[in-house]
A = this chain, B = another copy of it.
């Protein structure tokens, strides 16, 4: 048998680790709230029920595909309900469930944290970005992204 390379061993580890992460509730939730649109949808619905196109307008930059996809996944997780009214033009309303409302509150906590500590982060960034500029080194330039 061949000696495994570092990359091979890491790949093996990655597979196991990935499996572990998928079964980890924390990570699953993190995946959820980290979705670009999820937080926006939840925030929009936090003020009350909304129709599909209202959401599309309120969130502005979202494509119908992503909006639907986001709503479906949230519905699947029991975070919101989808109610269809079969009128002449169909009407679909979305509304947060108790659980969804609960998530909205968690997001509020995150938001509060962000607003509280954002100044510190900004200062840290400025320090980091200018550090070394006065010491004569200019290798930092490339790091600006």
Contacts and interface: CB of A to CB of B under 8 A. Distances in A.
Contacts of A121: 28-29, 77-79, 99
Range for the number of chain A residues in contact with chain B: 35 or more
A139 interface: no
A134 interface: no
A109 interface: yes
A18 interface: yes
A61 B10 contact: yes
Interface stretch (A44-52, A87-95, A111-119): A111-119
Interface in A34-67: 34-35, 39, 59-63
A14 interface: yes
A137 interface: no
Given A10-B60, A10-B61, A79-B124, 20 more contacts: A13-B60, A17-B59, A26-B114, A28-B114, A28-B121, A29-B113, A30-B39, A33-B110, A76-B124, A76-B125, A76-B129, A78-B120, A78-B123, A78-B125, A79-B121, A99-B117, A99-B121, A103-B113, A103-B117, A106-B110
